[in-house]
Chains A and B, each alone.
Chain A
Amino acid sequence: NAGVTQTPKFQVLKTGQSMTLQCAQDMNHEYMSWYRQDPGMGLRLIHYSVGAGITDQGEVPNGYNVSRSTTEDFPLRLLSAAPSQTSVYFCASTPGGGGAEQYFGPGTRLTVT
């Protein structure tokens, strides 16, 4: 199993550009989440999904869209990038059940100029 994979590893965008961060897992996990990590802020939840076709907002959802058409994939879309979205983005998946361990992908470092 590859676990949780994310692409790209690094990305530089100009303000106003759009892009999609890809996340995939091959563990057949029900739950998937997106976090951003900023210095001094810890990891903050952006969006999460409890199954294919079901998504919900986390703590910091503004400026981001998600969809979950398959169990395996959970892409994160930035519609119009802003410098405040410069961060490291982590995708995570969980087998299911309340309070279970989350498995993290390797992260995407995004810089918006």
Chain B
Amino acid sequence: EDKVVQSPLSLVVHEGDTVTLNCSYEVTNFRSLLWYKQEKKAPTFLFMLTSSGIEKKSGRLSSILDKKELFSILNITATQTGDSAVYLCAGSTGFQKLVFGTGTRLLVSP
């Protein structure tokens, strides 16, 4: 059975801290690993990773994939209150099916 496990389940940090969110996966016919940010409504796309060891960056966020160890991390540096959200990780199979983890709830306090 395909599964994606995220840790920690929740996290509280102070503004300016750096956080690392973890995602491990076991997905049949794995194609890519995706990260989404979910505030109050629909998930919004952050990154898609298909190759091991290549870091993707967008502003203060970055992510990397390790296909040998079957995990990915999402880093957020200099956190801001606007980063407070649930961060979802998903493994994509060859048939466009996403298997989601339960998410990490991040709260950034001022």
Contact = CB atoms under 8 A, between A and B. Distances in A.
Interface of A: 31, 33, 35, 40-45, 48, 50, 56, 58-59, 90, 92, 94, 96, 98-107
Contacts of A44: 100
Contacts of A98: 31-32, 92-96
B98 interface: yes
B88 interface: yes
Contacts, number: 70
B53 interface: no
Interface in B1-60: 4, 31-32, 34, 41-45, 48, 50
Interface residues of B, number: 25
For the residues of B in contact with A, the DSSP-based class is strand
A100 B96 contact: yes
Contacts of B90: 43
Interface string B71-88: 000000000000000001
B45 A50 contact: no
A43 B6 CA distance: 13
B31 A99 contact: yes
B46 to A, nearest CB: 10
